[in-house]
Amino acid sequence: MALRIVATNPDPSLVTLLPWDTPLEEWTGSFMVPLPRGISRHIVRFVRLGTHVYAVKETREPIAFGEYRLLRDLRRLKAPAVEPVGVVTGRQTRTGDTIEPCLVTRHLGSSMPYREMFSRGVRADTLPRLVDALVVLLTRLHLAGFFWGDCSLSNTLFRRSAGEFAAYLVDAETGELHPDLSDGQRAYDHDTAKGNLFGEMLDLQAGGFMDRELDPIPIVEGLLERYDRLWSELTGVEDFTTDEMWRIQMRIERLNDLGFDVDELDIVTDWDGATARIQPKVVDPGHHNRRLQSLTGLDVEENQARRLLNDLDAYAAANELQNEEPALVAHRWLTEVFEPVTRMAPPDRRSPVDAAEIFHEILEHRWYLSEQAGEEVDTFEAARDYFRKELRVEPLEVGSAR
């Protein structure tokens, strides 16, 4: 049987450099990278080829292909999920024994499984923030017509995003894509999410990672409440009289605040024009990300983008640039503030997402220093202090004072 690789954009070294004739569990070599991974039934390993890191999961053929196709569909729909690379089938040992196929995905950079976070010690409010991120993920998947079937913290990866978290789906094995989801399908996902989350919290408590006094039930119930609130804001019908048409703009602004753009809004007025009914039909996540990207080219997490846009606004106000062309102001801010500050970071912390997170932490640090000093502290001064005291590294490059 021949080794066969189905891949979107095949990296030749994937075919030539990896020991596909050896069961994944026995892989050794300099290409292996010991990154943290969550609990799973299948064997998962990480490998580095050139500058890319991949996750390799050994599984049965229908599962590998099913997951690969679904992850491709999710990518097309711009849903937050790991990026599929390919499926390797036809594996055999040198003595001719068949070995299970592998699904290869791109390792999601700057991400962590939730258990890893807890084992490093986390702040008390981390769990509700992880649950919040999970709610946003589930809502976005449902909007895209994706039924997950096994929503859990273990099947999710988390990235820090300016004091919050951004969640990505990592395990699509039980998923199905539909044009729209029924209420029953969504309810099924809520039930599995609640059950899984409850079990995961008991497990954290048993492992001593979570305070035993903390009651899992309100956190689990909170998941559904938050989901319902977000879902109804994103999809719900609103009725009002036509002299309250400003409510259309308010609804759009509320959705923008939640990080969504309205691509299509259905507005129906009755015959005598006295009442109106609106309902968002197509909403597109990533409102702040898109705005920041169009102004600066930076592609970062939604909440990070919101934070950077706030700093950009503050910069414009402090320098009396509010009436200037936004793209020019953004360029000045990027080259005079953001880039010089984030270039002080060690080279392995300079990916856009890492840089944005560091910038956010520096802003927090500046706030703290300013409060202590009783006056506004300069961003560069705060940055130097942050690198030395918080990251315990010498800032690499010191930019000009703001």
Footprint on this chain of ligand ATP (rule: CB under 6 A): 37-38, 40-42, 44, 55, 57, 82, 105-108, 111, 113, 154-155, 157, 170-171, 173
**139 binding partner (options Mg ion, ligand ATP, none; Cβ < 5 to 8 Å by kind):** none
Q: Closest approach of Cβ 297 to Mg ion, in Å?
A: 35
Would you say 118 or 359 has its CB closer to Mg ion?
Answer: 118
Q: Closest approach of Cβ 136 to ligand ATP, in Å?
A: 19
**192 binding partner (options Mg ion, ligand ATP, none; Cβ < 5 to 8 Å by kind):** none
Positions that interact with Mg ion (CB under 5 A): 40, 155, 171
**226 binding partner (options ligand ATP, Mg ion, none; Cβ < 5 to 8 Å by kind):** none
Would you say 78 or 254 has its CB closer to ligand ATP?
Answer: 78
Residue 363 near residue 385, CB atoms below 8 Å: no
**306 binding partner (options Mg ion, ligand ATP, none; Cβ < 5 to 8 Å by kind):** none
Residue nearest to ligand ATP (CB): 38
Q: Closest approach of Cβ 9 to ligand ATP, in Å?
A: 15
Would you say 155 or 304 has its CB closer to Mg ion?
Answer: 155
Q: Report the alpha-carbon distance of residue 158 to residue 166 in Å, rounded.
A: 6
Residue 240 near residue 275, CB atoms below 8 Å: yes
**82 binding partner (options ligand ATP, Mg ion, none; Cβ < 5 to 8 Å by kind):** ligand ATP
**108 binding partner (options Mg ion, ligand ATP, none; Cβ < 5 to 8 Å by kind):** ligand ATP
Q: Closest approach of Cβ 76 to ligand ATP, in Å?
A: 17
Would you say 106 or 388 has its CB closer to ligand ATP?
Answer: 106
